[in-house]
């Protein structure tokens, strides 16, 4: 399979997504970054306001750069069941499942969501590019794999008023859509797919259309949402929300195994706190043998959610045991505006059943170019920092 | 259905039979399953024309491990190794042949310097081969993460080489193993005829030519396997070896079922628990051992989907395309090879007049063509064993290189041309050859794949190159005979130490299984 | 004064590096060079008025940054500037470009194969892992695996530790990598013929091997393990040509009090009572020194400038059998303007990098077949660059210089020795091949210097014109380079050392052999080690 680029593709490093014309109008400072080859907004106007759109109203984020693959064929279920750690026979048509997948050494290649459209029809949505890994994993299976990244435009619509906005748009029936459900609507001669999924830990949906309908969707969505506090957001705001929600991010909280150069710099699902996704009772999946061994022998690392004293975000801080022995390092950290907590994820080199008390973060922060250091006590948090009941309510409330 | 057997072996090739015999000898209930009507896999003797019989693939026995012959008492089971010992004769079109014996050479225009050099060279190479030889009958080590015991074994291996060879020879060893045979021969010899004939030994059965690094390893490997045996043409053809092995195995209590085509390895909970035949019948046993090549075993019998993705990828990347063809010719009388007496015809005759000849023969195969002038190893086994042909008639058997598996345009359309080419080449050395031929059978790699089930028609079940040898044969993670599928083992040429009619893979697999059971 | 602490023979980059370190340590050092100019094969010369030809080595990446920094080469005028770009052109008018931006580069791969675009990431990760493994060994002396000396055992332990740290699967892959052909290696990742051919070139440059020859995967690594400012795998131009590197090294040498003599060809290394006494020049002049370091290749060192009776038989035999095959040629072309490559869109930056015209393994392998048959490749592999697009000092404004490295070109032809006619025919073959892609190329040519292995040997003194001073095959790497038992820079005669690319870690303008040899010499003299250590972990 070849991608449809012509020789001129070099003229811009990052390509615009189908929503770019609208986003460019909103972007006050033209602050963009490259997300897998596409222009993605850091923010449009103000990170704080955008963050509160997620938690208070309705946020819209362009998800189009996500790597999207369509997997179709008789063996599609068996293919996924062998590739990912989760038991895929439990994922019914019309449902979405989150999973990780590993290499033979049981280290995480990537995480992502798997959409089951029909008996033999799936979409995989991943952060990293996975085409080659899908091809490698497909040997022996009757499946057809196509890259849909370019053709499918997607918006993440998240926040307490998101249901109201979509209802206002006329997407009737959406009230019965449960978390991780999928529903399809005819849309201006094409199709609109809505899944009740997201990366914010809040009530929210993701909308998927063909690229040609992207601007229509944007316009209709914003028209419907104008009385519901709708606001376009960039990745900075999302990053706060996803840490509150307890979602890890490839490249931040772990290095995908296929990109790891140094030994032991990759991570197993157990080491990322994703043991609940690993179904070792399946007869075969890639990484199973190594994960069984790891389960027997114990993991080397564990990823924990930390509630840290004070209000200085512990970016890249070392975490110590009793302020003496290095236990690990913070991978993501943020001040949670909703929880009013100083939260972080940290990867600790600690046996899985070791007690985690007396943890301290050594935090550096800057004031007027002056660097200061504080020690703050950390408490391990088992649950997500933020998980409101509205996230699961069906039908959801309007606000 | 209860398990009537402790172990099932898929394929009654020589390695499967060796493995069966050892396991049965160790007290296990073994059932060997062979898809053909006769046992032997590719090590069989078969009739290719009325009254004419020949060893189907390998035709010279030179590496069958004496330990196996002894321990399995193959001689009492009918193995006759009393055929006349054979030497190598490198043919020359002008009749100026070169005779290569184990420690000395005669003929052609080989200088006295080369004669002396040859004896020294072989002794030097045999010393290196002796450093390798013990590894042939051992399970390859794992390199890391396998515990302290392995580190000790690894250090022991280094120690063996260092003290087995001494400082000077170890240096020589460590230098030449990285070399190509072309340059090594240049360091030692003057005569191109001699260099050509010796280079053939390094590339026979491989997808290599003399200038390729790694060819010294294959040369040493061949020497290492044959250190303790004398090359011979087995009486009754190669099939006599497997018949004796089958007899030995059954005498120890193993059962053999022929015409039993295993379609899949039965898996439960990710473990191998039995096999399913083409008709749907199942047989169960806690240990399943495959004598099939790794691609057949993993990708067909087990199925890529039942493997983890990385392993499946590595298996499918194995280089298993054969480049050697086998030609069998029924002759109404002995051909007259220029400069060769009748009684010399029982030897191993090779056509490899120079390294350039081999190189040019190989060049075609790189581009999906067969050699314009192929190199050959020829035997006329009916001389030592008249039972192979009707009275007064003869059989000629030739390994012909290079004939690539993936020939451009396909073999169907070009096989006749290829046979013509081979006959032309032999005729250059035996002008009356063409008139003697009554029937020809040509087994291209495609035929070998079809008939014997070897993927790519590769004699060794996979290229014998350093990256596919030792602890990397067929690929790491399966190189210790045990596979990642619990209960499934490999015992064929695709595992260490590879092909030839050595029996070592079967022997080692049986030892690993017995040791693992304890 | 005719007496020195040490004499270095050959002012190539390694000789200069070696001499610079010896001088820096306080020794009284003389470096002698047979040519009227220094640099050996790292040289810039004005062979056509107004044009500077970097007429042997032409790009830099492997030069050890530790040495660059340690000897203050920047102060003596060295600037290595990355070029970026590069492409492999196809006859059909397409190409595979090598863009500097990650995403653009990925799209360029995806244009040919989506699979390969992803696979390139896995390939880069694996190759980077091997680079990381190999780099710490570049500034170390190889262990003798047969020795029980504490130093060798600790070096072996270091090797074992580094191997272990790869991880088990990676270790097997690494061993496989070392023994595979570049074609087999790339086949494991890629499906596009063009992608594979484009990436395989690095496995062939300077070797007498084809893409299907085992061992070429390592050569690929040899060309990937360098860096520019930590950007591993990047290549650049030395501003002013590669001669700037030699000049900078000479600057460092002279700053530390070392002496440099050109036009001083050495006839012989003098040995008395098993000890080096000095050298005698072809002029008959004798120069004394207890230490003599040869920057020449092993064949020339032992068979030309040493008396065989001073050497153990084994060394003579090893030198005779040393593999140093000539396989490369070079064209340096002065151009009246910028050649057009119409397959590139206007403004495309790819032309600034290395351009190639081979689109599949078969073409490369057939090019190699020609070499094996004793003739130059009819459709050669070329590594062509236009340094003037990056470095304005190389030609008058608006004019350009093109450097074309060519493979394969044998040192000896099947039909006899090289003659000027054959050399011209070789050059014409290359020019015709390039002209297939650039319609105005031939019209722009003002002057061409054609160098076959014959010229490279005659002018530079590299046996058979081998750019690495000896094949980079396993039997001649690490503890086998140049010979087993003599891989620690010490020659067979007391006081005699080797410092050329003929020693570990080999060629490619690394300067590592020169520094490593200096470390051993200083150790033998009981002096403090002043050579730099590896920067570590990048």
- CATH classification at residue A366: 2.40.30.110
Residue C453, Ramachandran bin (φ over 0: left; ψ between -120 and 50: alpha; else beta): alpha
Angle at alpha carbon of residue B493, lines to B487 and B499, rounded to 5°: 165
The residues of A whose Cβ lies within 8 A of any Cβ of B are: 75, 78-79, 82-83, 103-105, 133, 136-137, 139-141, 283-289
- Tell me, what DSSP letter sits at residue C345? P
Residue A124 lies in a domain: no
% chain C with pLDDT above 90: 94
Q: Are residues B198 and B133 located together in one domain of the fold?
A: yes
Find, in chain A, the residue whose alpha carbon is nearest to that of B307: A284
pLDDT exceeds 70 at position B435: yes
* CATH code of the domain in which A238 resides: 3.30.1360.120
ipTM, 2 decimals? 0.95
Q: Are residues A222 and A340 located together in one domain of the fold?
A: no
Our count of domains for chain A comes to: 2
What per-residue confidence (pLDDT) applies to B164?
Answer: 79
Q: Three-state DSSP class for C149?
A: coil
Find, in chain A, the residue whose alpha carbon is nearest to that of B306: A284
Q: Are residues B200 and B290 located together in one domain of the fold?
A: no
- Chain A contact for B147 (CB, 8 A cutoff): no
Measured CA to CA, the distance from residue A238 to residue A53 in angstroms comes to 10
Which region among B157-171, C89-103, C377-391 has the lowest average model confidence (pLDDT)?
Answer: B157-171
Bond before B497 cis per omega within 30 degrees: yes
A-chain CB neighbours of C108 within 8 Å are 5, 9-10
Q: Are residues A169 and A237 located together in one domain of the fold?
A: yes
Domain holding A348, by residue range, is: 301-381
Measured CA to CA, the distance from residue B345 to residue B89 in angstroms comes to 9
Name which of C111, C121, C122 is nearest A3 (Cβ-Cβ): C111
Determine contact, residues B307/B270, Cβ cutoff 8 Å.
no
- Chain C contact for A2 (CB, 8 A cutoff): yes
Q: Are residues B221 and B128 located together in one domain of the fold?
A: yes
3-state secondary structure string, chain A? Answer: CCCCCCHHHHHCCCECCCCHHHHHHHCCCCCEEEECCEEEECCCCCHHHHHHHHHHCEEEEECCCCEEEEEECCCHHHHHHHHECCCHHHCCCCEEEEEEEECCCCCEEEEEEEEEEECCEEEEEECCCCHHHHHHHCCCCCCEEEECCCCEEEEEEECCCHHHHHHHCCCCCHHHCCCCEEEEEEECCEEEEEECCCCCCCCEEEEEEEHHHHHHHHHHHHHHHCCCCEEECCHHHHHHHHHHCCCCCECCCECCHHHCCCCCCCCCCHHHCCHHHCCCCCCCCCCHHHHHHHHHHCCCCEEEEEEECCCCCCCCCEEEECCCEEEEEEEEEEEECCCCEEEEEEEECCCCCCCCCCEEEEEEEEECCEEEEEEEEEEEECCCCCCCHHHCCCCCCCC
What per-residue confidence (pLDDT) applies to B3?
Answer: 66
pLDDT exceeds 60 at position B518: no
Q: How far is C380 from chain B (nearest CA, A)?
A: 17
Measured CA to CA, the distance from residue C32 to residue C461 in angstroms comes to 14
pLDDT exceeds 50 at position C125: yes
- Chain A contact for B316 (CB, 8 A cutoff): yes
What per-residue confidence (pLDDT) applies to B144?
Answer: 67
Taking CA atoms, A145 is separated from A199, A292, B98, in Å, by: 25, 30, 59
Q: Are residues B177 and B260 located together in one domain of the fold?
A: no
**Inter-chain residue contact C118 with A131, CB threshold 8 Å:** yes
Q: Are residues B222 and B136 located together in one domain of the fold?
A: yes
Q: Give, in words, the CATH class of C6-43+63-72+241-322+469-524.
A: alpha beta
Measured CA to CA, the distance from residue B170 to residue C146 in angstroms comes to 7
Q: Are residues B189 and B253 located together in one domain of the fold?
A: no
Q: Are residues A239 and A325 located together in one domain of the fold?
A: no
Q: Are residues B169 and B190 located together in one domain of the fold?
A: yes
Q: For chain C, report the end-to-end CA distance as a whole number of angstroms.
A: 46
CA A85 to chain centre: 17
**Inter-chain residue contact B213 with C477, CB threshold 8 Å:** no
Measured CA to CA, the distance from residue B21 to residue B24 in angstroms comes to 5
**Inter-chain residue contact B308 with A284, CB threshold 8 Å:** yes
Provide the token pair at B13.
């090739």
Q: Which chains pack against C, by 3+ Cβ pairs within 8 A?
A: A, B
Measured CA to CA, the distance from residue C166 to residue C452 in angstroms comes to 41
**Inter-chain residue contact B171 with C146, CB threshold 8 Å:** yes
Between strands C6-9 and C236-238, the pairing is: unpaired
Residue B54 lies in a domain: no
A-chain CB neighbours of C129 within 8 Å are 261-262
% chain B with pLDDT above 70: 98
Q: Three-state DSSP class for C68?
A: helix
Determine contact, residues C174/C148, Cβ cutoff 8 Å.
no
* CATH code of the domain in which B480 resides: 3.50.50.60
Q: Which chains pack against A, by 3+ Cβ pairs within 8 A?
A: B, C
Q: Which of B226, B251, B273 is the last residue of a domain?
A: B226
Q: Are residues A61 and A156 located together in one domain of the fold?
A: yes
Name which of B269, B305, B310 is nearest A78 (Cβ-Cβ): B305
Q: How far is C484 from chain B (nearest CA, A)?
A: 6
Our count of domains for chain B comes to: 2
**Inter-chain residue contact A288 with B270, CB threshold 8 Å:** yes
Domain holding B185, by residue range, is: 116-226
- Tell me, what DSSP letter sits at residue C365? H
Average pLDDT for residues B482-510, to the nearest whole number? 96
% chain B with pLDDT above 90: 89
C-chain CB neighbours of A8 within 8 Å are 345
Average pLDDT for residues B156-182, to the nearest whole number? 88
Residue A218 lies in a domain: yes
pLDDT exceeds 70 at position B2: no
Helical segments of C311-389, H only: 313-320, 361-372
Measured CA to CA, the distance from residue C30 to residue C253 in angstroms comes to 10
In the sheet with B287-290, reading across from the earlier edge strand, the strands are: B255-257, B30-33, B7-10, B287-290, B488-490
Residue B202 lies in a domain: yes
Confidence of residue B152 (pLDDT cuts 50, 70, 90): confident
Q: Are residues B247 and B219 located together in one domain of the fold?
A: no
Q: Are residues A164 and A40 located together in one domain of the fold?
A: yes
Provide the token pair at B305.
């989907």
Q: Which of B226, B254, B275 is the last residue of a domain?
A: B226
Instruction: Report the DSSP beta bridge partners of residue B325.
Output: B400
A-chain CB neighbours of B310 within 8 Å are 103-105, 136, 286
Q: Which of B187, B207, B226 is the last residue of a domain?
A: B226
Confidence of residue B1 (pLDDT cuts 50, 70, 90): very low
- Please report where in the chains the tokens 């996230």 appear, as a residue: A391
Residue B300 lies in a domain: yes
Residue B323 lies in a domain: no
Q: Are residues B309 and B254 located together in one domain of the fold?
A: yes
pLDDT exceeds 60 at position C1: no
pLDDT tens per residue across span B202-219? 999 999 999 999 999 999
**Inter-chain residue contact C167 with A263, CB threshold 8 Å:** yes
C-chain CB neighbours of B171 within 8 Å are 146, 484-485
Measured CA to CA, the distance from residue B141 to residue B471 in angstroms comes to 6
Q: How far is B279 from chain A (nearest CA, A)?
A: 22
B-chain CB neighbours of C147 within 8 Å are 167
Q: Are residues B209 and B254 located together in one domain of the fold?
A: no
Find, in chain C, the residue whose alpha carbon is nearest to that of A6: C111
**Inter-chain residue contact B270 with A284, CB threshold 8 Å:** yes
Q: Are residues B220 and B246 located together in one domain of the fold?
A: no
**Inter-chain residue contact B145 with C180, CB threshold 8 Å:** no
CB atoms within 10 A of CB B516: 12
Identify the CA nearest to B57 among candidates B411, B457, B394. B457
- Chain A contact for C107 (CB, 8 A cutoff): yes
C-chain CB neighbours of B144 within 8 Å are 163-164, 167-168, 171
Q: Are residues A32 and A156 located together in one domain of the fold?
A: yes
Residue B243 lies in a domain: yes
Confidence of residue B245 (pLDDT cuts 50, 70, 90): very high
Q: Are residues B204 and B259 located together in one domain of the fold?
A: no
Which residues in chain A land under pLDDT 50? none
Provide the token pair at B161.
């080489």
Identify the CA nearest to A188 among candidates A157, A161, A211, A155. A211
What per-residue confidence (pLDDT) applies to B84?
Answer: 87
- CATH 3.50.50.60 in chain C, residue ranges: 6-43+63-72+241-322+469-524
């Amino acid at each position: 399979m070849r991608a449809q680029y012509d020789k001129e593709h070099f003229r811009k490093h990052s390509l615009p997504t189908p929503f770019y014309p609208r986003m460019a109008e909103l972007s006050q400072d033209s602050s963009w970054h490259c997300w897998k080859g596409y222009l993605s907004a850091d923010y449009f106007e103000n990170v704080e306001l955008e963050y509160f759109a997620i938690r208070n109203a309705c946020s819209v984020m362009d998800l189009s750069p996500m790597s999207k693959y369509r997997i179709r064929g008789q063996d599609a279920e068996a293919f996924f069941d062998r590739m990912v750690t989760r038991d895929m026979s439990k994922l019914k048509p019309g449902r979405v499942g989150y999973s990780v997948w590993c290499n033979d050494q049981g280290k995480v290649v990537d995480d992502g969501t798997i959409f089951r459209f029909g008996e033999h029809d799936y979409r995989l949505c991943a952060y990293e590019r996975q085409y080659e890994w899908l091809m490698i994993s497909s040997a022996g299976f009757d499946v057809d794999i196509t890259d849909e990244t370019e053709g499918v435009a997607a918006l993440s619509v998240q926040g307490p008023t998101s249901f109201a906005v979509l209802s206002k748009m006329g997407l009737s029936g959406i009230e019965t859509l449960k978390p991780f459900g999928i529903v399809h609507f005819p849309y201006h001669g094409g199709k609109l797919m809505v899944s009740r999924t997201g990366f914010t830990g809040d009530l929210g949906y993701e909308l998927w259309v063909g690229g040609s309908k992207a601007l229509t969707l944007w316009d209709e969505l914003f028209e419907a949402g104008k009385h519901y506090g709708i606001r376009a957001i960039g990745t900075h705001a999302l990053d706060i929300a996803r840490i509150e929600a307890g979602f890890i991010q490839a490249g931040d909280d772990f290095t995908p195994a296929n990109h790891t150069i140094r030994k032991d710099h990759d991570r197993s699902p157990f080491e990322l706190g994703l043991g609940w996704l690993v179904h070792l009772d399946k007869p075969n999946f890639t990484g199973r043998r190594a994960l069984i061994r790891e389960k027997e022998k114990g993991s080397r690392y564990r990823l924990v959610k930390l509630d840290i004293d004070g209000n200085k975000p512990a970016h890249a801080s070392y975490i110590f045991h009793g302020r003496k022995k290095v236990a690990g390092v913070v991978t993501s950290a943020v001040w949670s505006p909703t929880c009013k907590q100083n939260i972080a994820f940290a990867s600790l080199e600690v046996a899985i059943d070791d007690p985690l008390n007396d943890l301290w973060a050594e935090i550096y922060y800057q004031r007027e170019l002056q660097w200061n250091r504080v020690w703050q006590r950390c408490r391990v948090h088992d649950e997500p920092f933020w998980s409101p009941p509205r996230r699961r309510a069906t039908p959801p409330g309007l606000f | 259905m209860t398990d009537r057997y402790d172990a099932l072996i898929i394929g009654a090739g020589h390695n499967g039979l060796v493995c069966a015999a050892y396991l049965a000898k160790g007290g296990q209930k073994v059932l060997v399953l062979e898809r053909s009507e006769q046992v032997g896999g590719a090590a069989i003797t078969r009739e290719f024309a009325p009254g004419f019989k020949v060893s189907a693939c390998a035709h010279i026995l030179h590496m069958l491990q004496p330990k196996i012959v002894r321990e399995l008492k193959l001689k009492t089971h009918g193995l006759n190794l009393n055929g006349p010992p054979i030497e190598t004769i490198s043919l020359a079109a002008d009749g100026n042949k070169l005779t290569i014996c184990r420690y000395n050479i005669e003929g052609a225009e080989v200088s006295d310097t080369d004669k002396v050099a040859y004896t020294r060279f072989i002794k030097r190479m045999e010393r290196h081969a002796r450093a390798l030889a013990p590894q042939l009958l051992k399970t390859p080590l794992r390199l890391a993460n396998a515990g302290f015991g392995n580190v000790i074994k690894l250090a022991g291996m280094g120690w063996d080489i260092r003290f087995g060879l001494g400082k000077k020879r170890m240096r020589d060893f460590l230098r030449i193993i990285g070399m190509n045979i072309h340059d090594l021969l240049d360091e030692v010899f003057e005569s191109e005829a001699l260099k050509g004939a010796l280079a053939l030994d390094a590339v026979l059965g491989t997808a290599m030519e003399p200038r390729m690094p790694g060819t010294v390893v294959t040369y040493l490997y061949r020497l290492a396997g044959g250190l303790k045996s004398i090359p011979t043409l087995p009486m009754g053809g190669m099939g006599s070896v497997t018949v004796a092995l089958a007899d030995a195995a059954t005498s120890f209590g193993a059962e053999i079922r022929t015409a039993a085509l295993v379609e899949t390895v039965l898996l439960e909970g990710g473990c191998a628990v039995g096999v399913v035949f083409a008709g749907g019948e199942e047989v169960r046993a806690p240990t399943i051992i495959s004598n099939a090549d790794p691609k057949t075993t993993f990708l067909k019998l087990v199925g890529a989907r039942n493997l983890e993705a990385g392993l499946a990828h590595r298996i499918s990347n194995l280089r298993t395309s054969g480049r050697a063809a086998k030609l069998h010719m029924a002759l109404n009388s002995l051909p007259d090879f220029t400069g060769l007496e009748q009684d010399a015809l029982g030897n191993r005759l090779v056509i490899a007049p120079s390294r350039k000849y081999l190189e040019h023969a190989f060049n075609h195969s790189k581009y999906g063509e067969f050699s314009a002038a192929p190199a050959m190893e020829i035997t006329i086994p009916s001389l030592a064993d008249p039972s192979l042909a009707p009275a007064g008639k003869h059989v000629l058997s030739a390994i012909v290189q290079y004939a690539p598996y993936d020939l451009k345009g396909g073999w169907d359309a070009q096989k006749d041309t290829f046979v013509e080419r081979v006959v032309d080449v032999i005729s250059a050395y035996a002008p009356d050859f063409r008139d003697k031929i009554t029937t020809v059978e040509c087994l291209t790699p495609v035929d070998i794949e079809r008939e014997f089930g070897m993927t790519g028609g590769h004699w060794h079940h996979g290229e014998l190159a350093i990256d596919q040898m030792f602890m990397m044969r067929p690929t790491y993670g399966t190189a210790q005979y045990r596979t990642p599928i619990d209960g499934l083992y490999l015992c064929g040429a695709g595992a260490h130490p590879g092909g030839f009619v050595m029996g070592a893979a079967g022997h080692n697999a049986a030892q690993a299984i017995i040791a693992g059971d304890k | 004064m005719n007496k020195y602490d040490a004499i270095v023979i050959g002012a190539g980059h390694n000789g200069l590096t070696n001499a610079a370190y010896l001088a820096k340590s306080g020794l009284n050092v003389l470096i002698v060079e047979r040519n009227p100019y220094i640099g050996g094969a790292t040289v810039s010369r004005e062979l056509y008025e107004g044009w500077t030809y970097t007429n042997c080595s032409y790009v830099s990446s492997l030069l050890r940054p530790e040495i660059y920094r340690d000897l203050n080469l920047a102060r003596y005028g060295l600037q290595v500037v990355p070029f970026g770009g590069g492409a492999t052109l196809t006859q059909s008018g397409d190409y595979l470009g090598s863009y500097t931006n990650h995403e653009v580069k990925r799209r360029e791969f995806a244009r040919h194969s989506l699979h390969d675009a992803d696979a390139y990431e896995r390939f880069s990760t694996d190759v980077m892992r091997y680079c990381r493994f190999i780099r710490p060994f570049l500034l170390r002396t190889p262990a003798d695996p047969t020795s029980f000396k504490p130093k060798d055992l600790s070096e072996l332990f270091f090797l074992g530790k580094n191997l272990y740290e790869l991880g088990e699967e990676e270790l097997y892959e690494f061993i496989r990598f070392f023994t595979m052909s570049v074609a087999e290696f790339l086949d494991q990742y890629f499906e596009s013929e063009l992608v594979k051919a484009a990436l395989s070139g690095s496995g062939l440059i300077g070797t007498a091997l084809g893409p299907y020859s085992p061992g070429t995967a390592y050569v690929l690594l040899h060309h990937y393990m360098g860096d520019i400012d930590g950007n591993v795998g990047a290549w650049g131009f030395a501003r002013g040509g590669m001669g700037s590197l030699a000049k900078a090294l000479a600057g460092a040498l002279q700053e530390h009090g070392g002496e440099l003599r050109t036009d001083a060809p050495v006839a012989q290394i003098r040995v008395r009572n098993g000890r080096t006494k000095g050298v005698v020049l072809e002029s008959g002049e004798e120069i004394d020194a207890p230490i003599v370091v040869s920057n020449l290749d092993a064949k020339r060192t032992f068979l030309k400038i040493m008396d065989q009776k001073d050497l153990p038989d084994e060394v003579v035999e090893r030198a005779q059998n040393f593999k140093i095959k000539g396989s490369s040629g070079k064209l340096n072309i002065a151009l009246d303007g910028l050649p057009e490559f119409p397959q590139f869109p206007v403004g495309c930056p790819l032309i600034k990098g290395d351009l190639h015209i081979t689109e599949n393994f078969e073409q490369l392998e057939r090019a190699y077949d020609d070499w094996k048959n004793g003739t130059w490749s009819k459709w050669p592999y070329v590594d062509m660059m236009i340094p003037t697009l990056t470095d304005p000092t190389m030609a008058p404004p608006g004019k350009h210089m093109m450097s074309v490295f060519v493979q394969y070109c044998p040192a000896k032809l099947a039909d006899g020795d090289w003659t000027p006619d054959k050399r011209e025919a070789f050059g014409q073959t290359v020019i015709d091949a390039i002209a297939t892609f650039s319609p105005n190329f031939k019209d722009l040519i003002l002057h061409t210097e054609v160098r076959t292995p014959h010229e490279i040997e005659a002018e530079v003194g590299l046996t058979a014109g081998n750019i690495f001073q000896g094949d980079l095959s396993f039997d001649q790497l690490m503890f086998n380079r140049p010979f087993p038992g003599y891989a620690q820079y010490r020659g067979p005669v007391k006081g005699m050392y080797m410092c050329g690319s003929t020693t570990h870690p080999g060629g490619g303008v690394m300067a590592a052999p020169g520094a490593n040899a200096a470390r051993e010499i200083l150790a033998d003299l009981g002096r403090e080690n002043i050579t730099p250590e590896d920067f570590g972990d990048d």
